[in-house]
Structure 1
Amino acid sequence: MSLDVLIIDDEADIRDLISDILKDEGFNSRVAANSTQTFKLISEKVPSAIILDIWLQGSDLDGLGILEIIKKRYPLMPVVVISGHGTIETAVSAIKMGAYDYLEKPFTHDRLMIVLKRACEAAKLKRENLDLKSKVVDKTELVGASSSTIKLKSDIEKVAPTSGRVMIHGEMGSGKELAARLIHKKSKKAHGPFIVFSPTCMSTDKMQQELFGEPERQDANSVFTKRLSVLEAANNGTIYIDEVGDLAMPIQIKLLKFLQDQILEKPATGKSLKVDIRFITATTKNLQNEINQGRFRQDLYYRLNVVPIKVPSLSERKDDIPLLVKYFIKQLAKFSGLKEREFSEDTMAALQAYNWSGNVRQLRNVIEWTLIMNPVSVGGYEIIKPDMLPSDILNHGVTITKPDNNLDMMSMPLREAREVFERQYLSAQMSRFNNNISKTSSFVGMERSALHRKLKLLSIHTASAKMRDEEYQEEQL
């Protein structure tokens, strides 16, 4: 889609000349002769950029007056100021008010296009930066104190100062990019760029274009005549390739060659560029299976998987859920304007009992949904109860907050009713603590051996490999 540029000048010949130049370069253009026409056109459609004459005859506001209003309403709007009767003071005033640059008439075709394209590029980068800040609360803090999280932190501390290539294995949403950012932050290249590249859903040609670049060309739908390839942009820093298993075979071959000497061919100039890049890759796939199926090169796998790191799923670190919940609440309150709330113990137990297929990312979304859909009443500070959670969390979790509706406990003798309660209670607690006998017994106040007997008596078949290992260790003592 072509960018829309609004040209504001009181001289019709100048307006038409600039408009023709922009159209030849692939832009859409509209023209205005005064402030009234300007704000009418902006109200109809906000332009992508503005070329603004300082001196406007027959206008209620001059160019600086228009610039002041535009920058208040649209602070990221790229504005190029032009004038045939300008002074240094006028130029300085325009720049201070937010104009990108100042051009004195007469100016050349090339000079105008260079400045306009740079202005649009700078505005685009500012928008992207703000978007990232609004979406990313803190991408370099690993929250949790479970044994799995402690091990991950230890692995990161060991590998970060080295130059070794790292392959991060883990489920979707578990925090692989977070681990990669932490490695970069603690590395010798921390002051260099951290570039993320995801080949998923890209065509082979698109992967080639993004990773390695392509010959310079004019594009009618873009203000850019040249853009850095991902590998060139990552020079002296770190590149993080997400879902590396999705790289097309021709790209795998080319990447393998690049890894041998890190020399990047420059198609636009025919020259070569020596770069220094640390590679961190990530995958949710079993790449050994991909290799066996002929979809991933074994030699590339060995090149990239020098230091493998496993990011645990949220189900493997349920002990971290209370800390994660508090962390997300504080961040959402800080960046989204939501009120800080406390989650009751029953609510926290329900979260810990749930099987988080979407991992930490899903947990954060659930916390945000819960805070949004359960606003605080005026002057109140309501604790989040289990019934405030999304229905699928309760419907698919093992928790005593969701009793079996098919059982009428009031019609049962005390012994049977107690057995039903104990079965639901212990099933929920075992799920909450990921079938860890030691933690469950400590929480419910029972000896481990007594809990073993109770679980067998109630026919609770939730024993995992962890639970069976503990039983074996007890037998050996």
Structure 2
Amino acid sequence: MTREILIIDDEADIRMALSGILEDEGYIVREAANSQEALATIHARRPSLVVLDIWLNNSELDGIGILEAIKHDYNDLPVVMMSGHGTIETAVSAIKIGAFDFVEKPFKSDRLLLIINRAIELSELRRENERLKVSAAVQSSLIGNSAPVVQLQQALDKVAPTGSRVLITGPAGAGKEVVARQLHQQSTRSNGAFVALNCATMHPDRLESELFGTESKDEDGETSIRIGTFEQAHGGTLLLDEVADMPLETQGKIVRVLQEQSFTRVGGDVEVEVDVRVIASTNKDLQALIAAGEFREDLFYRLNVVPLVVPALVDRRDDIPDLIEYFMDLSAKTNGIPARPLAQDAMASLQAYEWPGNVRQLRNVIDWLLIMAPGEGDEVISAEMMPPDIGSISPSVSSGSAGQEDLMSLSLRDARELFEKRYLEAQIMRFGGNISKTSTFIGMERSALHRKLRTLGISTDRN
């Protein structure tokens, strides 16, 4: 990510000399001669760091006033102060307000560069630390080796480094945000911020404020700024989660931002420039919404540069054991209790379940099992310990219309046939109708299994 530095000094010679030094180090440099230019430049696009002179001619605010204004609106923006005739009291005052360091003129280039590098690195480290706190318990990479996941990973590997916009579709809870996070991590913007905004949970009246930020003036005429998600994601990635729920009016403004990479905050008139990669996700059919007049066609084509489809969990049952292991370890660390192994019947039960809530539901079930299942320590979790909804739906060879009393009325041949039918139905469901995997697991030749299924009247069709 390219780093930008804003130099604020009323002397053109100093700005030019300092610009040359910084540009030689690979920085992009912008300049301002007074507080009016400085604040307008910062409001238009947030720099990585500000180098600020204390004494400024022809300026409404001196350096301390500018520093206070910066820290009011951009508290995490590092500022290095300069002065040719500063005092210890002035330096201490600047540090208390939030300046990173204070440099006296004439400055030595090596020392100034060292301070600037440290300030930017510390700022980025703090921002990364905040992001890690937020995403500590968030899955950020695909898990599994099933065919649908391998195909998705291959597509992801191709598009991630390109910077193209991506539209991620798939059912609720399938892991669309996980794919978006992995796209960001594998991109050239991985050092920048990843910001996610869920359009479905945001009230329409608040959505634009969250996206673009706000500007307001108090009675004294001072401007107060709150930055939105587009500015927070500057230099990084913005995920518009459940984009289908965005109001049509807001959709039109997003089209403009994607086209021009600029916007104005709500209540403001300053054109804000951003460099953001936009990823969108939805669990709805956008083409149908376009036909119904509920989604803008021009926005769809701008977002749908590269489409990625996240499969439902029932279409990737092979990944369930790996996901269970991952979520069990994560839940154990989060809750401070030991992870517990699952018995074969419990694993089979979880693989056979239909998972209407997809991966999100599976994670919740693992949390429930670790906390609520009988036993403790490393005691094995069995099928009988499953939550009621899974236990009642998962197939069992001892349940159904013929209970224990009915079983006693059957001949040995009929009882064996009933057992075989229920057992095979359970295994077929567990492996998603895959005959090869079922035959390998139960230890029966594939052709023999086909004959047995036909004899028992078991269908392998999966809807």
> TM-score, with normalisation over the residues of structure 2?
0.68
Q: Taking structure 1 as reference, are residues 426 and 217 closer, same or farther at Cα in structure 2, changes over 3 Å only?
A: farther
Q: Taking structure 1 as reference, are residues 233 and 310 closer, same or farther at Cα in structure 2, changes over 3 Å only?
A: same
User: 1:195, CA displacement in angstroms?
Assistant: 0.8
Residue of structure 2 equivalent to 1:431: 429
Query: What is the CA–CA distance in structure 2 between the aligned matches of 1:167 and 1:207, rounded to whole Å?
Result: 20
SS in 1 for 2:300: helix
Report the aligned-residue RMSD.
3.0
| Structure 1 residues 13-412: aligned runs within 5 Å | 133=133, 136-217=136-217, 225-266=224-265, 270-374=269-373, 376-377=375-376, 381-400=378-397, 402=399, 404=401, 406=403, 408-412=406-410
Query: What is the CA–CA distance in structure 1 between the aligned matches of 2:315 and 2:196, rounded to whole Å?
Result: 27
One-letter code aligned to 2:341: E
User: 1:265, CA displacement in angstroms?
Assistant: 2.1
Pairing 1:441–2:439 present: yes
Structure 1: runs of 5+ lacking an equivalent: 1-87, 102-125, 466-477
Query: What is the CA–CA distance in structure 2 between the aligned matches of 1:450 and 1:261, rounded to whole Å?
Result: 64
User: 1:190, CA displacement in angstroms?
Assistant: 0.6
Query: What is the CA–CA distance in structure 2 between the aligned matches of 1:428 and 1:422, rounded to whole Å?
Result: 10
User: 1:446, CA displacement in angstroms?
Assistant: 2.1
User: 1:338, CA displacement in angstroms?
Assistant: 1.9
Query: What is the CA–CA distance in structure 2 between the aligned matches of 1:402 and 1:165, rounded to whole Å?
Result: 50
Query: What is the CA–CA distance in structure 2 between the aligned matches of 1:210 and 1:381, rounded to whole Å?
Result: 46
Query: What is the CA–CA distance in structure 1 between the aligned matches of 2:322 and 2:427, rounded to whole Å?
Result: 18
SS in 2 for 1:327: helix
User: 1:325, CA displacement in angstroms?
Assistant: 1.1
User: 1:363, CA displacement in angstroms?
Assistant: 0.7
SS in 1 for 2:356: coil
Deviates more, 1:273-282 or 1:176-185: 273-282
One-letter code aligned to 1:315: V
User: 1:457, CA displacement in angstroms?
Assistant: 1.9
User: 1:139, CA displacement in angstroms?
Assistant: 2.7
User: 1:198, CA displacement in angstroms?
Assistant: 1.2
| Contact preservation (8 Å) 1:232, 1:275 | yes
Query: What is the CA–CA distance in structure 1 between the aligned matches of 2:253 and 2:392, rounded to whole Å?
Result: 49
Query: What is the CA–CA distance in structure 2 between the aligned matches of 1:134 and 1:196, rounded to whole Å?
Result: 11
Q: 2:451 aligns with which of 450, 453, 461?
A: 453
| Contact preservation (8 Å) 1:204, 1:250 | no
Structure 2: runs of 5+ lacking an equivalent: 1-87, 99-125
One-letter code aligned to 1:152: L
Query: What is the CA–CA distance in structure 2 between the aligned matches of 1:274 and 1:130, rounded to whole Å?
Result: 24
Q: Taking structure 1 as reference, are residues 154 and 266 closer, same or farther at Cα in structure 2, changes over 3 Å only?
A: same
Query: What is the CA–CA distance in structure 1 between the aligned matches of 2:189 and 2:180, rounded to whole Å?
Result: 13
| Contact preservation (8 Å) 1:170, 1:176 | yes
Q: Taking structure 1 as reference, are residues 326 and 203 closer, same or farther at Cα in structure 2, changes over 3 Å only?
A: closer
How many residue pairs get matched? 343
Q: Taking structure 1 as reference, are residues 195 and 399 closer, same or farther at Cα in structure 2, changes over 3 Å only?
A: same
Residue of structure 1 equivalent to 2:57: none
Residue of structure 2 equivalent to 1:43: none
| Contact preservation (8 Å) 1:152, 1:311 | yes
Residue of structure 2 equivalent to 1:114: none
SS in 2 for 1:174: coil
| Contact preservation (8 Å) 2:351, 2:430 | yes
| Contact preservation (8 Å) 1:161, 1:188 | yes
| Contact preservation (8 Å) 1:349, 1:399 | no
User: 1:351, CA displacement in angstroms?
Assistant: 0.3
One-letter code aligned to 2:175: G
Q: Taking structure 1 as reference, are residues 251 and 385 closer, same or farther at Cα in structure 2, changes over 3 Å only?
A: same
Query: What is the CA–CA distance in structure 1 between the aligned matches of 2:143 and 2:309, rounded to whole Å?
Result: 16
After superposition, give the CA deviation of every residue in 1:425-448 in whole Å (9 maximum; x if it has no partner): 111111100111111122122222
User: 1:268, CA displacement in angstroms?
Assistant: 5.8
After superposition, give the CA deviation of every residue in 1:226-264 in whole Å (9 maximum; x if it has no partner): 310111211111000100000100011111122111112
Q: Taking structure 1 as reference, are residues 217 and 390 closer, same or farther at Cα in structure 2, changes over 3 Å only?
A: farther
After superposition, give the CA deviation of every residue in 1:306-330 in whole Å (9 maximum; x if it has no partner): 1110111111111111111111111
| Contact preservation (8 Å) 1:346, 1:401 | no
After superposition, give the CA deviation of every residue in 1:442-463 in whole Å (9 maximum; x if it has no partner): 2122222222222222122341
Query: What is the CA–CA distance in structure 2 between the aligned matches of 1:298 and 1:163, rounded to whole Å?
Result: 22
SS in 2 for 1:215: strand
Q: Taking structure 1 as reference, are residues 205 and 381 closer, same or farther at Cα in structure 2, changes over 3 Å only?
A: closer
